[in-house]
Chain A
Amino acid sequence: MSSQDTSSQKNNPVIKCESVYKIFGENAEKMLQEANGNVDAQVFQDAGCVVGVNSASFEVYKGEMLVVMGLSGSGKSTLLRCISRLTEATSGSIFIEGEDLLALSGKELIELRRNKMGMVFQSFALLPHKTVLENIAFPLQVKGNKLKDAMTRAKEMVDLVGLTGRENYFPRQLSGGQQQRVGIARSLAVEPDIWFLDEPFSALDPLIRKEMQDEFLRLQGVLNKTILFVTHDFDEALRLADRIAIMKDGIIEQLDVPANIVLNPATEYVRKFTEEVPREKVLKIESVMDPVNSSEELSDLKVSKDAIIETVAEAVLNEDKPVAVVDENDKVVGTLHYSKVIHMLFGEIPQQEEKH
């Protein structure tokens, strides 16, 4: 989803974090007050504290998927747990649909979780003593729904995630991928507005992971939830995200759309991730096109500005002349010469050709 789509909703983000800190350790609060917003991880570590999240501020809008990417220990899961309030943030404020999350009482928090939040866990976290159907119905039963309604709804969810016929299996009788389907179904059973996913596919084999990502994109296409997705896999982040936040040592190093992260890494750390990334698989035509030059003669081929380069590369390379780039209203917004595509695919060589 591009930034234009969400611009109309900019005023009321679903999740809003303002300088959220999470510091583990005994005197965390006091130390944080003394640091005056200038938290140095090393200083805190010497004092026996561990900095989990360091001044995180961002917003997530309705229907958007924000992927938080970072290596283990970067604080990404801690950030997620602060926002779901599984751990209490040390300082800062978090707003869920404008409501101050940290000010909620225990009861209100439970109400919020029962109705608006769903979460998927890395290790699936299914209840071992309940069957697939019971696991999925669990949030509904906890909420106090009638047994029959809960089971009917759970059955729908089983069908949605493609586990039909395995309702009465116990978690231990399922493969990892199937268990995570149950986890996903459970988190969606109460029809939450906000969907938290904590490294949901990390424990799965690469092939299954790909399959589950496709499944996940399909589901999101249908459901259009507001999503906070945590992963340590940069490729996964690129594949799924509307925007990516890259974390290191509790600090959000960069928060941007995938294309910008790949093209303009903000720090050395982010650059390391982006170096190996095949750009044609990430970037859209829009980010490499030239402005319209009326004197130029265009070929008959038209490509959408939102198309990923890889998908149209072959067609563009077959054209001698630059191709026209159009937006959704079929209006020409730019041009693309095949040399640009070669540049994208093979790096430096075409650039030298351009110079002469």
Chain B
Amino acid sequence: MHYLTKHPKLIQFGILLIVFFALMSMTGEYAGYLELRDGFSNKVESGKIQAVASFSDSVSMILRGQLPPQFIRIPEMHFYNPVISGSIGYLLTMLFIIAGLSFKNYYSASKDGRVLVSSWFKKNWNKLSIYVFTGIFGGLFIAPTLFTWIFLEPTTFSFWDMPGIIHHFARFLMFDFWPVEVYDPDIEEYEFSAMIKEITRGFSRSILFIIDLIREVLLGGIKTIVAFTSWDFISANRWAKWPALPWTVVSATAIMVGYALKGWRLAFLAAFATIYIAFFGAWEPAMMTLSLIFVAAPVSFISGLTLGVLAFKSPATEKVLWPILNITQTMPHFSYLIPVGVFFGIGDHAGCIATIIFATPPMIRLTLLGLKKVSPEVVEAGMMSGCNNYQLLFKVLIPSARFDILIGVNQVIMQCLAMAVISSFIGAKGLGWYLLLAINNLWVGAALQLGICIVLIAVVLDKFSLAWANKQTDYFAELPFMQRHKYSLFFLVILFAGILLAYIGSFIFKGDINYLYQIPYNKGFSMADTFQAGIDWFLKTFFWSLQGFNKWFIVDVLLPMRASYLAMPVIATFTLLMGVGYIIGGIRSALVVGGFLLFISLTEWWDRALITSYTATVCVLVSGVVGVTVGTLSASNARASKIVLLVCDTFQTLPSFIYLIPVIILFGITDTSVVIAMIVYATVPATRYTIEGLRSVPQDMHDAGSMSGVNRIQRLIKIEYPLAFPHIMLGLNQTLIFALFMVVIGALIGTEGLGQGILESLSNKQGIGKGLMLGFCIAFIGLLFDHLIQTWASKRRKLLGIG
């Protein structure tokens, strides 16, 4: 009892749980309809159930211990349309607001004496721009909306129509907004086109040009030459073909770079990767993927760095950028594809742009983090050394933040590879495209072979970028010319030798494929059949045990859990989550959580969201237990934690898609496969954060504990866990986000949640609205828990005085 009075939050939580379960049990007559997805709304649609009970009916239902239908599922809601109007009255209102605000400011500034209008303007111009914005917003939007709602008959829209509205808005932007006259060289005439379309087209073209350029350096081709001449020129001059770099040259160069960066071990890795890719006939798609990454990674790096620096310089930019970063980093990858497809079309450039959008946010965050960590005295030292702004930025700030920025570079490369497969959905060619084909046709052996290629590229690029990050230049060595340029010279030797080899090859393989020059797709060795045979054998041997587990998992774990999630009335969900929000972060958190929930519940995909949440819950529970256990066991030993962290690193380099391959082999196309893939993928952050959290408990604390005579278990429970708990919770937060990413990708092999909807909208011409709304739903589930956990962790940390 004494314990409870000391912890009032526990009592609050207890009451909350009682209320929650009371609400759960009040579904009564509707209980039977809830277990199926959309069961309730289907009944509403077919007229079997009234969507909304009248007020008196509702009251009597509640008194009977039965929730009225609108509390079980929120029905389709209609809202008054907002109105935007620029008619003369509203224009005057706008001017009135601007003038009023400015006058108020000027008046308070000139209270103690006359202030010149020009000097006042100079000082307050930023405020003035806010006034102008307020005026436009209030005068042309708020005022007409209010006026229409109060005095006129306002039109309405359904929230379920939001996808359509978004779709029409996008179309409007792309085809009707801001018409400009553009010269069309094909019909040799001027014609009207939308500005935004022209901009995105121009952007697409330049991106595509660079991709093609790099691709043709690696693989050969004619597109670059066409870009400067014409197709007629090509057909007239057969010699005008850009030759490919022989694969031996690329491979040897990679080995040389590996050696230059970190010695023989990295060189060996590069050799293994390139030779594997070449031998198994994946050279062409691998180089295509690489050419996409070579464009996406630098662009992401530069834009991330620029935005990070901007956010660092201006707090206003940071404030605007922060929520955008939050949403972009929790939106599933697929959701980017649809708007990119709409605005930029389909093809390599679209894949590249989607990749850039996806890879830039972590770069921004890490740049900002790094710059903020630079000690103010170092900045002052730079200023006192007489740096101008440019020198301060490039010679002091960015180099001092080098460590975090380079982690950002590494992240960018990893994200690019993660997108390599996903961007193939909108036509990016390369390994991902073939991998997707293989998975769709259930060629598991081929998929495995291609998957290994992607993993190898990921690992090589990861190790290369990390090695480059940690490389130090020997500033003072005065070397002779040969020594200084030894790698460039060596490259020339490689180039010459490679070309020579390819030339010799043309005699050896007369008329056939020149294996010393280029190896086309699928013309190398293939282990696909061997892989497939091995898999078949494995399945035959373990079929019954796998099948047994699969059945047990689905029938006894997944289905009951799914049913209990679906049986949850809307009001119970709101009560539980907003209540937890209130207990953790007060009224503000409750409102934030409520806002996210409200958005999801107003869409027609509440049941889907519940299914997604249930999958994610199973995953977070299992991953959490496994991750924390493994982390705890290995954290007590420096060597073990190093090894486990290395394993975590390796797992994190694997693009999420790859996880699907082994689970399909084992469990076929079932929910089990998706859940297992999610669990494996999401256990990584749980483990990593547990180890980091436990190992960051200061040695003093251990010593203090030891001197108080604790044994190992006591030390763990009484000292290490409480101190590391906030960090471990952040790990679980990451686990959830990872799980949500995976649940969408898992939709490829069939889950019923939000992810499936996103996939459906991918193949739909008008899918932009649906895809985005579903993406927001998933992002908001993630952000909701992110908010709860972050608030809790930061409070807890403040209490413990760490971080």
Contact = CB atoms under 8 A, between A and B. Distances in A.
Decide whether A and B are members of one complex. yes
Nearest to A123: B377
Interface string B318-334: 00000000000000000
Interface string A86-115: 100000000000000000001100110111
B384 A127 contact: no
Contacts of A126: 378, 381
Contacts of A33: 112
Given A33-B112, A121-B380, A127-B400, A139 B475 contact: no
A139 B386 contact: yes
Contact of B399 (A34, A123, A129, A196): A129
Contacts of B381: 119, 121, 125-127, 183, 186
Contact of A143 (B112, B377, B386, B402): B386
A166 B473 CA distance: 17
A117 B384 contact: yes
A199 to B, nearest CB: 11
Interface residues of A, number: 39
Contact of A119 (B380, B387, B402): B380
B568 to A, nearest CB: 47
B391 A142 contact: yes
Interface string B520-531: 000000000000
Contact of B400 (A128, A139, A187): A128
A110 B386 contact: yes
A167 B378 CA distance: 20
A81 B396 CA distance: 19
Given A121-B377, A123-B375, A113 B384 contact: yes
B637 interface: no
A131 B475 contact: yes
A118 B400 contact: no
29 contacts: A84-B384, A86-B380, A86-B383, A106-B388, A113-B383, A114-B386, A119-B381, A119-B384, A121-B377, A125-B375, A125-B377, A126-B378, A126-B381, A127-B382, A127-B396, A128-B378, A129-B399, A129-B402, A134-B475, A138-B385, A139-B385, A139-B386, A142-B386, A143-B386, A167-B476, A183-B381, A186-B385, A187-B384, A196-B384
A124 B375 CA distance: 10
Given A110-B386, A142-B395, A125 B475 contact: no
Contacts, number: 75
| Interface-centre pick from B377, B382, B396 (highest chain A CB count, 10 A) | B377
The 10 A-B pairs at the shortest CB distance, nearest first, are namely A114-B386, A139-B385, A125-B377, A125-B381, A119-B384, A113-B386, A129-B399, A121-B377, A125-B378, A123-B377
B203 to A, nearest CB: 35
Interface string B9-47: 000000000000000000000000000000000000000
A171 B391 CA distance: 21
Nearest to A170: B472
A19 interface: no
| Interface-centre pick from B380, B384, B388, B395 (highest chain A CB count, 10 A) | B384
B123 to A, nearest CB: 11
A86 B380 CA distance: 7
B396 A168 contact: no
Contacts of B395: 138, 142
Contacts of A118: 384
Q: In which size bucket is the chain B interface?
A: 20 to 34
A260 interface: no
Contacts of A139: 385-386
A124 B388 CA distance: 21
A122 interface: yes
A107 to B, nearest CB: 8
Nearest to B109: A30
A115 B377 CA distance: 20
A110 B388 contact: yes
A127 B378 contact: yes
Interface of B: 112, 375, 377-378, 380-388, 391, 395-396, 399-400, 402, 475-476
A54 to B, nearest CB: 22
A240 to B, nearest CB: 21
B477 to A, nearest CB: 10
Contacts of A143: 386
A118 B381 CA distance: 9
Contacts of B380: 81, 86, 119, 121, 125
A86 B396 CA distance: 16
Nearest to B386: A114
Contact of B377 (A34, A113, A122, A167): A122
A142 B476 contact: no
B507 to A, nearest CB: 52
A272 B383 CA distance: 37
A213 B386 CA distance: 27
A115 B384 CA distance: 10
A86 B386 CA distance: 11
B158 to A, nearest CB: 46
Given A138-B385, A139-B386, A142-B391, 17 more contacts: A33-B112, A34-B112, A86-B380, A86-B383, A106-B388, A110-B386, A111-B386, A119-B380, A119-B381, A121-B380, A128-B402, A131-B475, A133-B476, A142-B386, A168-B475, A186-B385, A187-B384
Contacts of B396: 127
B475 A142 contact: no
A143 B382 CA distance: 12
A168 B386 CA distance: 23
Nearest to A111: B386
Contact of A113 (B378, B385, B399, B476): B385
A129 B384 CA distance: 18
A110 B389 CA distance: 10
Contacts of A128: 378, 399-400, 402
Nearest to B377: A125
Nearest to A196: B384
A130 B383 CA distance: 16
A186 B402 CA distance: 22
B128 to A, nearest CB: 18
Contacts of B476: 133, 167-168
Contacts of B377: 121-125
A197 to B, nearest CB: 11
Nearest to B381: A125
A86 B384 contact: yes
Contacts of A127: 378, 381-382, 396, 399-400
A227 B395 CA distance: 28
Contacts of B388: 106-107, 110
Interface string A161-181: 000000110000000000000
A122 B381 CA distance: 11
A42 to B, nearest CB: 23
A111 B382 CA distance: 13
Nearest to B387: A142
Contacts of A130: 399
A34 B400 CA distance: 42
Contacts of A110: 386-388
A51 B23 CA distance: 57
Contacts of B475: 131, 134, 168
Nearest to A113: B386
| Interface-centre pick from B375, B380, B383, B385 (highest chain A CB count, 10 A) | B385
Nearest to B399: A129
Nearest to B402: A129
Contacts of B375: 123, 125
